[in-house]
């Protein structure tokens, strides 16, 4: 009787160890390279387990079925594409699929990128109108095969989230979101530091309110598509609603997608006695009160 009891205990221990090993030890800890594994809509637990075994990601479908069933996760497995490797154990693989941690691509959209530049970086055509200025620059984790429509929604939702705290301030100043973002896009392209951006914001709003042309070089390069800060006299005469040399007020719309710092500067401009500014080739901003001082600064710094 005692021998039989010991034998049963041994069998139970062996079974537990066998199951523990199957669940908690990966198929091959040396194979760390990820594979793209697809869970199609409608795939149930047993089909997923069978596919994992076929792909060489787990030792046996039995262990995956057993673990998911005892965890009550059989109805929580989500469709999608997943990065998995044989170096992951069954608990890690199951967790990913249950939580829907699908394969993603990480993409950084820098501040000041235009819609065209964003399309180039994503390799996608972004559908929709009036996108310029409202695709918030940030680091995104997009689904692996994200569509242009999905990317736009994600970036615009992010814009709404980031801009919402300033809406009351903007409406209280008698301005629209479109005006603020258009101004922020000019600031983004013109100067680099927060302090300079706040001063430039004050200058540009002041010039606008006094019906003085903004004369922002970045609006000209937006028209021409040139990626240079240099603007010719001829280019300042281009007939375009974006030309702030030729037409008073803000341009037709934003010229890039500004970051939060430029948006804040547009909302909270700094008053000063300055009416003019220019940026040196080294990125320093020179501020002047009179046109004579401004012309002298141009002759000195922009030879």
Q: Which of 134, 163, 192 is the last residue of a domain?
A: 163
Structure tokens at 130: 């009036």
Q: Yes or no: say if 184 and 265 are a contact pair by the CB < 8 Å rule.
A: yes
Residue 14 lies in a domain: no
> Which secondary structure element, helix H or strand E, spans residue 66, and what is its range?
helix 61-71
Residue 9 lies in a domain: no
Residue 67 lies in a domain: yes
DSSP secondary structure, 152-204, as one string: HHHHHHHHHHHHGGGHHHHHHTT--HHHHHHHHHHHHHH--SHHHHHHHHHHH
Q: Which of 99, 126, 148 is the last residue of a domain?
A: 99
Gap between the Cα atoms of 169 and 175, Å rounded = 9
Range of the domain at 122: 104-163
Q: Which residues of 286-298 are buried (b: 16+ CB within 10 A; e: fewer)?
A: bbbeeeeebeebe
- Going by the DSSP 8-state scheme, the letter that residue 218 receives in this structure is H
Measured at the CA of 235, the angle between CA 231 and CA 237, to 5 degrees, comes to 130
> Along the 303 residues of the chain, how does pLDDT read in single tens digits?
666 666 566 566 566 666 768 788 899 989 989 999 999 999 999 999 999 999 999 999 999 999 999 999 999 999 999 999 999 999 999 999 999 999 999 999 999 999 999 999 999 999 988 999 999 999 999 998 899 999 999 999 999 999 999 999 998 889 999 999 999 999 999 999 999 999 999 999 999 999 999 999 999 999 998 877 788 999 999 999 999 999 999 999 999 999 999 999 999 999 999 999 998 888 889 999 999 999 898 888 886
Query: Could you give phi then psi for residue 179, rounded to 5 degrees?
Result: -65, -45
Gap between the Cα atoms of 277 and 147, Å rounded = 42
Kindly state whether residues 196 and 276 are assigned to the same domain. yes
Q: What pLDDT is attached to residue 6?
A: 61
Kindly state whether residues 185 and 295 are assigned to the same domain. yes
Kindly state whether residues 73 and 115 are assigned to the same domain. no
Kindly state whether residues 147 and 42 are assigned to the same domain. no
Structure tokens at 91: 């608990």
Q: Yes or no: say if 77 and 41 are a contact pair by the CB < 8 Å rule.
A: no
Is 32 in a helix, a strand, or coil?
coil
Kindly state whether residues 269 and 194 are assigned to the same domain. yes
Q: Other CB atoms closer than 10 Å to residue 143's CB: what's the count?
A: 15
Residue 2 lies in a domain: no
Kindly state whether residues 211 and 159 are assigned to the same domain. no
Residue 3 lies in a domain: no
Q: What pLDDT is attached to residue 302?
A: 80
Q: Yes or no: say if 275 and 290 are a contact pair by the CB < 8 Å rule.
A: yes
Residue 13 lies in a domain: no
Task: From 142, 139, 143, 2, select the one nearest 80 (Cα to Cα).
Answer: 143
Kindly state whether residues 75 and 159 are assigned to the same domain. no
Residue 206 lies in a domain: yes
Kindly state whether residues 235 and 268 are assigned to the same domain. yes
Task: From 233, 206, 217, select the one nearest 285 (Cα to Cα).
Answer: 217
List, in sequence order, every beta strand (DSSP E) within 62-160. Answer: 80-84, 104-108, 139-143
Q: What pLDDT is attached to residue 68?
A: 96
Look up the CATH number of the domain holding residue 73. Answer: 3.30.1490.480
Kindly state whether residues 53 and 76 are assigned to the same domain. yes
Q: What pLDDT is attached to residue 153?
A: 97
Q: Which of 74, 99, 124 is the last residue of a domain?
A: 99
Cα end-to-end span (Å), the chain? 103
Number of H helices, E strands in the chain: 12, 6
Kindly state whether residues 284 and 212 are assigned to the same domain. yes
Q: Are β-strands 35-39 and 80-84 bridged in parallel, bridged antiparallel, or unpaired?
A: antiparallel
Kindly state whether residues 196 and 225 are assigned to the same domain. yes
Residue 117 lies in a domain: yes
What are the C-alpha distances in Å from 82 to residues 4, 58, 71, 103? 47, 14, 20, 5
Measured at the CA of 91, the angle between CA 87 and CA 93, to 5 degrees, comes to 60
Is 67 in a helix, a strand, or coil?
helix
Kindly state whether residues 38 and 127 are assigned to the same domain. no
Gap between the Cα atoms of 176 and 179, Å rounded = 5
The domain tally of the chain equals 3
């Amino acid at each position: 009787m005692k021998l039989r009891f010991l034998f049963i205990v041994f069998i139970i221990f062996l079974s537990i160890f066998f199951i523990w090993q199957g669940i908690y030890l990966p198929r091959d800890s040396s194979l760390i390279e990820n594979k793209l594994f697809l869970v199609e809509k409608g795939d149930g637990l047993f089909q997923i387990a069978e596919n994992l075994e076929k792909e060489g990601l787990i030792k046996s479908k039995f262990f995956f079925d057993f673990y998911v069933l005892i965890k009550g996760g059989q109805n929580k497995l989500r469709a999608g594409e997943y990065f998995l490797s044989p170096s992951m154990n069954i608990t890690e693989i199951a967790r990913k699929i249950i939580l829907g941690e699908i394969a993603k691509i990480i993409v950084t959209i820098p501040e000041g990128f235009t819609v065209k530049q964003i399309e180039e970086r994503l390799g996608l055509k972004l559908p929709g109108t009036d996108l310029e200025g409202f695709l918030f620059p940030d680091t995104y984790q997009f689904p692996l095969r994200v569509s242009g429509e999905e990317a736009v929604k994600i970036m615009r939702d992010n814009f709404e989230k980031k801009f919402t705290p300033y809406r009351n301030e903007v409406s209280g100043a008698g301005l629209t979101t479109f005006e603020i973002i258009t101004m922020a896009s000019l600031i983004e392209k013109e100067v680099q530091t927060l302090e300079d951006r706040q001063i430039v914001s004050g200058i540009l709003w002041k010039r606008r309110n006094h019906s003085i042309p903004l004369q922002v070089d970045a609006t000209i390069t937006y028209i021409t598509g040139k990626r240079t800060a240099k603007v010719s006299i001829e280019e300042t005469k281009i007939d375009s609603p974006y030309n702030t040399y030729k037409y008073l007020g803000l341009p037709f719309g934003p010229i890039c997608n500004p970051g939060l710092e430029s948006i804040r500067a547009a909302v909270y401009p700094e008053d000063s006695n300055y009416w003019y500014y220019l940026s040196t080739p080294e990125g320093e901003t020179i501020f002047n009160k009179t046109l004579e001082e401004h012309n002298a600064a141009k002759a000195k710094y922009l030879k």
